[in-house]
Structure 1
């Protein structure tokens, strides 16, 4: 009896325990489930995958090229500026002549870059451009190329692609636009009757000759084009008879060493430069790693609205380009402060400065030539502008189709018994009057317009040019010891 009672109590206890267990499971398990399921349900549409794995090739030219296009100087960006604008001085001053130095127009890269075949360097020609192409075809088929002098055997029609170092159709359009906007301004100088009134110089490169031809076609009436004289310069600096100079080589080497040292002090930039270099060039080991050469190559893509290149899934990004260009902007400022920079410009451009002075004096004494054109390169402009004391960013690294113009004026209100006292000149760079920045000018200000007396230029060339070297002539400056 006692055994049965104990067993009954045990069974009741077991049932009570099982009942508690069932109740606990029924209440706590759903709560535990909800706790474990506290994070949102992962659905396909809500999956966040990093950009690295989902990025597809895109045309980067549609993103931020607006910040970089300023380096291209597209035809629609070329406009008249301060050229010929002397305000009310027109009542008493007469323009006597102009000397124009241009950098050639847009060209292909200087060495092989990746995906060059996909870069469209062509252009949809406007009617004026089409007329020019017809004019060239007629010249070629009629054999009327004698007026081109040493360039008569050069191709006169550009290829419709990005050929290595050659002028592109965009470059031709730039020159046509530049000549067109200056034609109205200098119309009074263009009614020529003899070949001595207009002279055209070009370096021996095809791109400079073709740029000069397009410019002259655009600025001159077509029937007068055959009356001009084309002359060749063997040097990109237009040194003429003053080219060989050992100190120019020494100063150039010093500047290169200084630039390399600055780059090595910026390890992050140096690393970026090497990575970008390997992406851009199809044969990277054959090209020296140089930020300026690399910028020139990258502009091939930017200036023709082409996608930036990729190599082995490593793509050049707009941010990389902006970082590289930003470093170059900083480096240019340091470059221009180097004491060798101004000296190099003086030595490199002495022959050119002499030729300019000679033509200035002819305009004063013989009333001709009316117009002299020099078709050159970025360094041609850099050396000459540096010599004149103009060394801003745009002057140190001029864009395609940049222009430097010397306008010669005669003051009709001065009755001078001393020849040349009544002649002045202005300096216009890319549409901006920079006469006030010319270091050797004893400036005269008429009605708010800066003018530089011709005699200031003559005195500078003959008396003061080599004063910074403490030398009296070119030969002495080139051979003396430079610390």
Structure 2
């Protein structure tokens, strides 16, 4: 009798357990379907691209098991990264020095920003507005991600950075980066083939050739996957790819609730304006951001990128501005004079040269300070030891001195709005600001999402034309975002820099925001069409460009 009661008790518990499991499964499934896929809180974990053949029907919704597997895998990655970030990111080789030496605190702070390590989570205030506004469009200007130095400058060995995406992806807890490397490897092989293609391969190849991916030279991409592991000069590193993957993934989460993209759309070619300069590192940065931004295989639904030959994204007649070139030449002369006439910089150069070459006869001349910093940060951003000479190595305080000088120089050159450097920025970046302003004013459907992939020499003058005062050397993967919002038939803008809302600091928006902190669109239009040229005593861009004296 007692045994029967025990059996009955266990049977009762089993029935209750089954009921709880069934209810939980029903709740998880219903909540997943209610939220949709992806949700603002679900990090994209794309499978290999699914291209249906004539005999297959694409699934309308991902299975619960597959969705949970993808989310669980990404949560493991986030947990691993979070564990690494319990302590502040520091260049590995010098971590103890940074922790124990407060005299190099400036360098510590600048490296965290400038290197922009992909291990540090991307954050920002994009998409955060008072309820009641509708998102009309988003316009993003980016600097390419982490790269190797532009040139060796005769400074000896370079940082040992592996640029083979497949090999590096296998060593990192970053599933999205691993999937990107895998997809690129498959795309590269597919685009090389000319015959013996299955119908599904033919459709995929056609989609690739008509999308933003078509901008990439796949022969160059092959070198990222199969050739020598050693990075070449001016090459986007795996860290650079990961930086923009993370930014794209972050922007997807914050803009998904505002329905920036229609996930059911046949393609995004009618709403996207994608532009890049002609350098491989900017093209690849744009592709990485789009890969993180768009769910599943929707990168194949993007239009080809327009390639700009100029760093300011001008085209045709808008590039013809003699005054801008004249001002740029003057700025370059001012920078050179500042270095040669400055005893402080001479002492810095002397100390660095003594370390690198000591008493070496006919030692090469040191490059300009921007190139020096470019060289040194390639070591520090990747946790390596700084370059050495015959008996000594470059020290952290020497790098800090170079960083401080470069930042101070940029601040001095743009100290007032009538300085030569500021005047140059107002003319040089006018075509891009005009393009964005016109797109918002006309509510161009093909500019609902605009991406301009450029350089530090694009970011800095664009900040200047907006009147934003942070003229320090821009971080890798820096981003300037201009959002357009509407309410009651009125349009407003927000301006963000690296995730911070800078709208109240924009020159034409100061003290002119509405009660919700947004800037009326007419303030931007008035600046673009009139106020920008007051500085040149002109009434139009053309007249300012052809003024005889600046």
TM over 0.5: yes
Q: Which residue of 2 aligns with 1:233?
A: 308
Instruction: Give yes or no for contact 2:240–2:285 (8 Å, CA) kept in 1.
Output: yes
Task: Give the secondary structure class of the aligned counterpart of 2:523.
Answer: helix
Deviation at 1:291, TM superposition (A): 1.2
1:72 aligns with 2:140: no
The aligned runs of 1:61-460 (5 Å cut-off) are: 63-64=97-98, 66-70=108-112, 71-86=114-129, 89-90=130-131, 92-112=132-152, 113-116=155-158, 118-119=160-161, 124-125=171-172, 126-143=174-191, 144=205, 145-146=208-209, 147-148=211-212, 151-154=215-218, 155-156=220-221, 158=224, 160-187=229-256, 188-191=259-262, 193=265, 194=267, 195-229=269-303, 230-241=305-316, 242-276=318-352, 289-337=367-415, 339-362=419-442, 364=443, 366-394=444-472, 397-411=473-487, 414=488, 416=489, 422-441=490-509, 444-447=512-515, 449-460=516-527
Flag the 1:482–1:197 CA change in 2: closer, same or farther, 3 A: same
User: Are the counterparts in 2 of residues 445 and 451 from structure 1 also a CA contact under 8 Å?
Assistant: yes
The separation in 1 between residues aligned to 2:397 and 2:430, in whole angstroms, is: 41
SS in 1 for 2:119: helix
Q: 1:98 is paired with a residue of what secondary structure?
A: strand
Q: How many residues align?
A: 410
Match of 2:538 among 457, 471, 474: 471
Deviations 1:2-21 (A, max 9, x none): xxxxxxxxxxxxxxxxxxxx
- Unaligned runs of 5+ residues in structure 2 are 1-91, 99-106, 192-204
SS of alignment partner, residue 196 of structure 1: coil
- Between structure 1 and structure 2, the one with the greater Rg is 1
Shift of 1:134: 1.3
Greater CA drift, 218-227 or 155-164: 155-164
Query: In structure 2, do the counterparts of structure 1 residues 262 and 117 end up closer, same or farther at CA, with 3 Å as the change threshold?
Result: closer
The structural deviation recorded for 1:444 is 4.9
CA distance in 1, matches of 2:350, 2:148: 22
**Do the aligned partners of residues 224 and 277 (structure 1) sit closer, same or farther apart at CA in structure 2, a change above 3 Å counting?**
farther
The CA distance in 2 between the partners of 1:261 and 1:110, in whole Å, is: 23
Q: Whole-Å Cα distance in 2 between the matches of residues 224 and 361 of structure 1?
A: 28
CA shift digits 1:436-481 (9 cap, x unpaired): 111123765444x321222222222222221110112233222223
Question: Cα RMSD over matched residues?
Answer: 2.8
State the shift of 1:374 in Å: 0.7
Residue by residue over 1:380-434, the C-alpha shift from the partner in whole angstroms, topping out at 9 and shown as x without a partner, is 111111111112134xx211000100111011xx2x5xxxxx1111001101101
C-alpha contact (below 8 Å) 1:61/1:308 kept by paired residues: no
**1:48 alignment counterpart:** none
For residues 355 and 276 of structure 2, the distance between their equivalents in structure 1, rounded to whole angstroms, comes to: 35
Structure 1 Cα separation of the partners of residues 514 and 323 of structure 2? 41
Query: Comparing 260-269 with 315-324, which one deviates more in the overlay?
Result: 260-269
Q: Distance in 2 between matches of 1:74 and 1:262?
A: 32
Distance of 1:367 and 1:240 partners within structure 2: 21
Residues 244-291 of structure 1: CA distance to partner in whole angstroms, max 9, x if unpaired?
322222222222332333333432421322542576699x97776311
Distance 1:280 1:298, change over 3 A: farther
Does the Cα contact within 8 Å between 2:530 and 2:540 map onto a contact in 1?
Answer: no
Distance in 2 between the 1:224 and 1:402 partners? 24
Separation of aligned partners in 1, 2:363 and 2:322: 30
Q: Distance in 2 between matches of 1:407 and 1:432?
A: 13
In the TM superposition, residue 435 of structure 1 has moved relative to its aligned partner by: 0.6
Q: Distance in 1 between matches of 2:393 and 2:400?
A: 14
The C-alpha deviation readout for 1:305-349, integer Å capped at 9, x for no partner, is 111111222421111111222222322221212611211001111
- Distance in 1 separating the partners of 2:534 and 2:338: 29
Separation in structure 1 between the aligned mates of residue 332 and residue 363 of structure 2, nearest angstrom: 20
1:442–1:456 CA contact under 8 A, matched in 2: no
